[in-house]
A = this chain, B = another copy of it.
Amino acid sequence: MSSTGRERITIEVGGGGEESQNFLKNFLLKHLSNFLLDSLEDATCLNLPSKTIAFTTDSFTVKPLFFKGGDIGKLSVIGTLNDLAVMGAKPLYLSLSLIIEEGFMSGDLERILESISKASRENEVLIVTGDTKVVPRGAVDGIFINTSGIGEVIYKGLSARNLKPGDVILLSGPIGDHGVCILAEREGFNFEVDLESDCASLFPMLEPLFLANLELHAMRDPTRGGLAGVLYEWAQASKVDILIEEESIPLQPQVRVFCEILGFEPYHLPSEGKAIIALPKREAPKALELLRSHPLGERARIIGEVINWSSKPRVFLKGPYGPIRVMELNNGEFLPRIC
């Protein structure tokens, strides 16, 4: 198979024969070649800088495949890098597994592979092992991508179980951009919005915090489930309550308008380039200073605190005029295939 972009991916590409070999050469290695991936063995041998690593996996089923600010390829690299970064790990290596529908346009695949290549180059990680399955028409909608990642743990001890009353909650920037961007572009919503997905790698912004000898308790990126999902996990795992000041949550105006018109809560919408951090209050000024010195963290701020109010761990939201209500969890009904 050559590659003018208008061919369609055939079942034979996934068969392990000559077409598979051609596909590897003309598509995957064309974009992703490096000395480790090129070995094309069943597994790739790696020499790690340390015996303490972080390991993560994520499958990406986003629809549409291409959206403002990114595509499924970029997302599948960045999403996994961020899962490593929020555990205190410097991302090193990724695996890449493609499940492609028979008949998928080769030009779309090339665009996706270019994005994967760009995102991994920019973030100095190598894709070192992979797998491609082609399934008959109708067995998958277009393309799904799994990446797994290995990183070197440079800051130990971050955990959802570590929150303590007196901690404050930092947010690195406005939330919901990715969710609004995907929903607005999706059939049925028909909502024009001048907003890009915030899909971005968090490690460069977070590394200074890891190196600064700060006491950090927990860190997450609010993807599926949004800010509310992370805070609930933390409250339950640490058996604490969390109180968030609604007005302090940074939002882009487009996200605010989208949510007001369509009835979403911004804290239910996923972001793909934001970090939530729980840490002792005394560490907050230094952490904010470090976050704000990176372009991704310019709007970082304290949005709440860890408290100990009720018998059952909950997350509370303090409204602009004082009243306090419970922050509801999103049930996810409207948000399939958001990442």
Contacts and interface: CB of A to CB of B under 8 A. Distances in A.
Interface of A: 11-21, 39-59, 61, 63, 82-84, 86-87, 89, 93, 95-99, 102, 128-131, 133-136, 138-141, 144, 146, 148-151, 153, 156, 158-161, 220-221, 223-226, 228-229, 232-233, 236-237, 270, 329-333, 335-337
Contact of A12 (B41, B129, B139, B332): B332
Contacts of A336: 11, 14-15, 102, 134-136
B337 A15 contact: no
- In the complex, the count of this chain's copies comes to 2
B224 A14 contact: yes
B55 A20 contact: no
A84 B58 CA distance: 20
Given A15-B224, A57-B131, 20 more contacts: A11-B336, A15-B332, A15-B336, A16-B223, A17-B225, A42-B56, A43-B84, A44-B87, A45-B52, A48-B52, A49-B51, A55-B93, A61-B99, A61-B133, A61-B135, A99-B99, A135-B336, A136-B337, A140-B140, A144-B144
A148 B58 CA distance: 10
Given A55-B93, A61-B133, A144-B99, A332 B20 contact: yes
B39 A55 contact: no
A203 to B, nearest CB: 12
